[in-house]
Structure 1
Amino acid sequence: MKMLISGFEPFGDLTKNPTEELVKSASKWDISGVEINTILLPVVYRTCAQKLIEEVERVNPDVVLSLGVAVGRAMITPERIGINVQHTEGEGKFGDNTGKKPKNEPLIEGEPDGLFSPLPISTMTDRLKNAGIPAQISNTAGTYICNNTLYELLLYAKKQGSHLHTGFVHMPATPDMVVTSHAPSMSLDVQEKALRIMIETIRNERQN
C-alpha cells in the first residue's frame, strides 16, 4: 500500500504545528506493507488542497491521510465528513497565512454539500482506545483549512472514480503549545504512536 501523509505549517499565533513534526517522523518509518510519502502543506485556502492534489498526481498513492492540529481538543479525532464551505472563525480568526478571511462561501460552487471519508474511522478509533490513547470520531472538521483540504480531496477522489481513499485526522496540541492557556494537550510521542496505529489499521483493512 502506498500512502501519502500530509501535515501543515504553523498558522495564526502558533509558532509550531505538531503535524509538521509528525510528517517528518513518518517519512523515516519502516512499516511492513506500507510505502510512506509525506508532504507539508501551506495554511492557505484552496492552495492547501491544490498542493496536495499535485502531490497525489505525482505519487499516485492508494491512501491519503491528512493531519491537522485542533487546539482545544483532548483526543485524536478522525473526521467523518468534509463540507463545501469556507468560513473564518475560531482557530482561523487570523485568516489563513495570507490573511484571507472568507465568510460563509462555498469552496466549489455547484458541488455536493458534504462528502464522507471512506477511511475505517471506527476501527481506527477503537484501536487507538484499546492502546490507551484518547480518541473519538469527529463529525465536524470545522470550516477552516483542515476542512478545505478534506473536502477537496474527497471531491477529487470521487471525480477521478479511482481507488484512492482519503481522509483527515485532527491531532491535539502538544504540551508546550498550551503552557499559558491550560488547554488540553497530548505529547508528540503519543501522537506518533497514534499515527503508527492508524497507518497499520488502514493497511490491515485494505488487505482484508
Structure 2
Amino acid sequence: MKILLLTGFEPFLDFSVNPTMKVVEELDGAVIGEYQVISKVLPVDFAKAGGQIIGLIEEIGPDAVVSLGLAAGRFKMTPERIAINFKDGPVDNEGNQPVDEPIKQNGPAGYLSTLPIRNMISRLVEEGLPADISNSAGAYLCNNVMYEALHYMDIHKKDVPSGFIHMPASHELAIEHGNVPSWPHRDLVKGVRICLEVLAAETAVIETGKITMNQ
C-alpha cells in the first residue's frame, strides 16, 4: 500500500487549539484509495518545521505529501497554488520572527503545488463545501513547509505529489475568538478526506497514462 504523509500544526499565536492538529489526528491510519495516511503534527517554529517535514519525508518515504494549515478569517477550504521563497510574519512559538528572509539561499522564487487542486475544489463544491484555489500561502510557517517539501522533491527528482491546503477555523476557535468564519470539525475532516480521495483517484488514473495533474 502507498503512504500519504499528512501534516498539521500545533497551536500558535493566541489560538489555544489548532483544528489542523485535530483533523490529522483523526485521519491518522485511514485508508483512502491506495493510500494509507500517516499523520504528523509540526511545530510552529521557523527553525524546526522545514527540517522536520524533510526528515519525515526521508524517514517515511511517502508517495504523496499533503500539509494542512489554519487560515483564520477564510470561510473556504483553499488548496494553495504556490509557495514562495520567503519567510516573514508574526513571531513563532519559539520567539523567532524572520523578516524578508529566503527559505533557501539561491533557491527558486517559487514552486507550484503538484496536487490536483482544481479537481479538489470542484469536488468540494459538488459536496456542498465552500472552496477555491488560493494564490497566496502567505510567508509564515504554512508557506515555509510547502516550499521546503516541494524544494526537496525538486532537488531529489522525486515525482511525489506535494502541496498545501488551508482550512477555516473550527467552531471551537470561533467560540473562543468571536467574529471569525468557522466550520464544524466534522466538515473540516470531510473536506480534507475529499481532497485526499481526489488525489488518490487521480494518482491511480495517472499511473495508467490517461491524465496529468492540473493547476
The alignment status of 1:154 with 2:150, answered yes or no, reads yes
The amino acid across from 1:152 in the alignment is E
Cα distance in structure 2, aligned partners of 1:129 and 1:8: 25
The amino acid across from 1:108 in the alignment is K
Out of 43-52 and 144-153, give the one that drifted further.
43-52
Partner of 1:71: 72
Report 1:115-134 matches (<5 A): 115-134=111-130
Cα distance in structure 2, aligned partners of 1:138 and 1:121: 10
The alignment status of 1:188 with 2:185, answered yes or no, reads yes
Report 1:15-164 matches (<5 A): 15-88=16-89, 92=90, 95-164=91-160
Q: Is the 8 A contact 1:67 1:169 kept in 2?
A: yes
Cα distance in structure 2, aligned partners of 1:59 and 1:101: 30
- Superposed structure 1 runs of 4+ greater than 3 Å apart: none
Q: Is the 8 A contact 2:29 2:39 kept in 1?
A: no
TM-score of the superposed pair, with normalisation by structure 1: 0.95
Unaligned segments of structure 1, at least 5 residues: none
Cα distance in structure 1, aligned partners of 2:86 and 2:199: 28
TM-score of the superposed pair, with normalisation by structure 2: 0.92
Identity fraction in percent? 38
Partner of 2:213: none
The amino acid across from 1:197 in the alignment is I
Q: Is the 8 A contact 1:83 1:113 kept in 2?
A: yes
Unaligned segments of structure 2, at least 5 residues: 206-215
Cα distance in structure 1, aligned partners of 2:37 and 2:186: 19
Q: Is the 8 A contact 2:45 2:94 kept in 1?
A: yes
Number of equivalenced pairs:
203
Offset of residue 153 of structure 1: 0.7
Deviation per residue, 1:150-206 (Å, 9 max, x gap):
011110100010122210000110112122431111111001111111111001111
Deviation per residue, 1:94-119 (Å, 9 max, x gap):
x0111111111111111111110110
Offset of residue 46 of structure 1: 4.0
The amino acid across from 1:170 in the alignment is H
